Amino acid sequence: MLSTLFQQIINGITVGSIYSLVALGYTMVYGIIKLINFAHGDIFMVGAFIGLLLSIKLGANFILVIFIAMICTSFIGVLVEKIAYNPLRNRNSARISALISAIGVSIFISNLVVLINGPQNESYPALLPNNILQPLIILISIGLMYGLYYIVHNTKVGIAMRAVSHNVNTARLMGINPDMIISFTFAIGSFLAGAAGVLVGTYYRAVDPFMGMMFGLKAFVAAVLGGIGSIPGAMVGGLILGLTEVLGVAFVSSSFRDAIAFGILILILIVKPAGLFGKKTKEKV
């Protein structure tokens, strides 16, 4: 009984780490330009498919595949920003225009993959041996998240990112180029999403063009749970979501898997809408 509980906890932390990696992309983009990037889940899916393509061409070399996939995904993330969000920002469009654009990009990307590959599940090669799969996923996620935290808090780029998220115009007055910083934010977020994509493919041994929707939605819940805009919030939110989901399925009822995730969303919005780590911004008159 105890070993089953322990195994279930590991299951939960593994799923949770993957949610965290994707949630970080949502939270950083929201923090810096107040946009919920609905296309982020599909960028994660594209990362997984790029990994699949690479592993066919380059063989089952995990480190090579995940590294190149992360770089490609990061590039795609920046591309999406330049094509779909930047022009709207430059024209001072309403916030909702960018939101609609994000939904459009999401639908476009997932259907593009369906057009190229078909809607069915695709088999993923075994890039890692089974027995170290879970611990390795958890370690890689922790490593990447620590790397992100270090960049944001200990480097000049990080200071610039935090400055832009506080106030774009003041940051500009300080000599920061907001467009570059915003692009960099998308690049990092998509870099992590690409890693999550390859990890999901390796863990479940299958991917499909619509997995970005559900995963993205749950990662978004994790970001809101932790406090959207807060990086530690996204990390903690992902872990809590993964754990409650798996433990709920294992010990309460497996019919409620998705209901648990969205129930948490409703609960946190009612009880503490700013999220666990979120701060209430006071309007200064």
Partner 1 sequence: MKKTVISGIVAAMMTVGSMAYAAVELSLGIQGPETGNLATYGQKTLAGAKLAVDEINAKGGINGKTLKLINYDSRGDKAESANIIQRFINKDKVCGVIGEPTSGATFVIGPIANKASMPLISAGATADGVVEGKPFVFRDTLLDADGAPATLKFLMYTKKWKNFVLVTSVNNDYSVSMSKIFTNAAKKYKANIVGEQKVSDGDKDFSAQVTALKNKKFDAIIYTGYYPEASLFLLELRKQGINAPIIGGDGLLSPDLWKVAKDAALGSIIYAGFSPEAKAKKVQEFVEKMKSRGEADMFSAQGYDAVYLFAEAMKKAKVNNCADVKQRKAIRGALASMPEFDGVSGKMKFDKEGNAIKKPFIQEVAKRANGEYYLKLLNE
- Contacting residues toward partner 1, per CB under 8 A: 4, 7-8, 11-12, 14-15, 118-123, 130, 133, 204-206, 208, 210-211, 214-215, 246-247, 249-250, 253-255, 257-258
CB of residue 190 to partner 1, shortest distance in Å:
21
CB of residue 135 to partner 1, shortest distance in Å:
14
CB of residue 117 to partner 1, shortest distance in Å:
12
124 vs 191 by CB, closer to partner 1: 124
DSSP per residue, 73-99: HHHHHHHHIIIIIHHHHHTT--HHHHH
d(CA 95, CA 7): 44
119 vs 147 by CB, closer to partner 1: 119
Q: Can you list the alpha helix ranges (DSSP code H) found in 128-177?
A: 133-154, 156-166, 168-173
115 vs 269 by CB, closer to partner 1: 115
Backbone angles phi, psi at 207, to 5 degrees: -140, 155
Which amino acid, residue 114?
Answer: V
d(CA 166, CA 255): 42
The region, left, alpha or beta by phi > 0 then psi within -120 to 50, assigned to residue 128 is beta
Backbone angles phi, psi at 122, to 5 degrees: -115, 140
93 vs 121 by CB, closer to partner 1: 121
d(CA 96, CA 105): 14
Q: Which two tokens stand for residue 64?
A: 């090579």
Q: Angle at CA 67, nearest 5°, toward 196 and 36? A: 40
CB of residue 134 to partner 1, shortest distance in Å:
9
d(CA 235, CA 226): 8
45 vs 148 by CB, closer to partner 1: 45
122: β partners = 207
CB of residue 167 to partner 1, shortest distance in Å:
41
Check residue 119 and report its DSSP letter.
S
CB of residue 33 to partner 1, shortest distance in Å:
30
CB of residue 158 to partner 1, shortest distance in Å:
33
Nearest to 44 by CA among 268, 265, 160, 196: 196
40 vs 218 by CB, closer to partner 1: 218
What Å distances lie between residue 129 and 21, 119, 141, 255, CA to CA? Answer: 22, 28, 17, 31
125 vs 232 by CB, closer to partner 1: 125
Place of tokens 């965290």: 20
153 vs 257 by CB, closer to partner 1: 257
CB of residue 185 to partner 1, shortest distance in Å:
28
